[in-house]
Amino acid sequence: MERAELGRRIYAAAHLTGEFTLRSGVTTDHYFDKYRFEADPVLLDAVAEAMVPLVPAGTEVLAGLEMGGIPVVTALGRHTGLPCAFVRKEAKAYGTCRLAEGAEVAGRRVLVVEDVVTSGGQIVLSTRELRALGADVREALCVIDREQGGAEALKEIDLGLISLLRAADLG
């Protein structure tokens, strides 16, 4: 499926109208619910398939960020055959006490995978933690770049942003 059609399908699934209060406290009459496209197995599979050619050569592990990156990385792993790590916002305080569950990241080329990038803040935090664990992280891959400063924030920590779609591609 071509990207323009994929963008239209994502928009149709995830764009809501009504009255919504955003995290900032601002009220709006439209909202983009990213979990709507992630919860549709057919659409998520099409998204993952379209992302495969964007995975940089040499990638050894796909690292999905909690929470929205987890379904995306799982679907992408099915299409690439690459192992996945599931990255928590903070290491759990019990059991394995790990930040990254699943595939080992130390000493491996890791691609951070996220659903939607706005400011890039969580990617920056998670990348720093993954690098502290010994991961070689050079890029992040997202489904949608909202083009609201995320790419610039990642550049500051020497991390490239690869996006399947931009905000302008939706609808």
Strand partners, 84: 62
Alpha-carbon span 26 to 39, nearest angstrom: 26
Is 92 annotated as a binding-site member?
yes
- The residue among 40, 56, 155, 41 whose CA lies nearest residue 113 is 56
Is 77 annotated as a binding-site member?
no
Is 52 annotated as a binding-site member?
no
Is 96 annotated as a binding-site member?
no
Is 114 annotated as a binding-site member?
yes
- E strands present in the chain: 15-21, 27-32, 61-65, 84-87, 100-102, 109-117, 136-145, 160-166
Is 118 annotated as a binding-site member?
yes
23, amino acid identity: R
**Helices and strands in the chain, H and E counts:** 6, 8
Is 18 annotated as a binding-site member?
no
Alpha-carbon span 68 to 141, nearest angstrom: 13
Is 27 annotated as a binding-site member?
no
Is 122 annotated as a binding-site member?
yes
Task: Say if residue 51 is preceded by a cis peptide, omega within 30 of 0.
Answer: no
Is 120 annotated as a binding-site member?
yes
Is 8 annotated as a binding-site member?
no
Is 117 annotated as a binding-site member?
yes
Q: Which residues are annotated as a binding site for orotate?
A: 118, 146
Q: Which residues are annotated as a binding site for 5-phospho-alpha-D-ribose 1-diphosphate?
A: 23, 88-89, 92, 114-122
Q: Which residues are annotated as a binding site?
A: 23, 88-89, 92, 114-122, 146
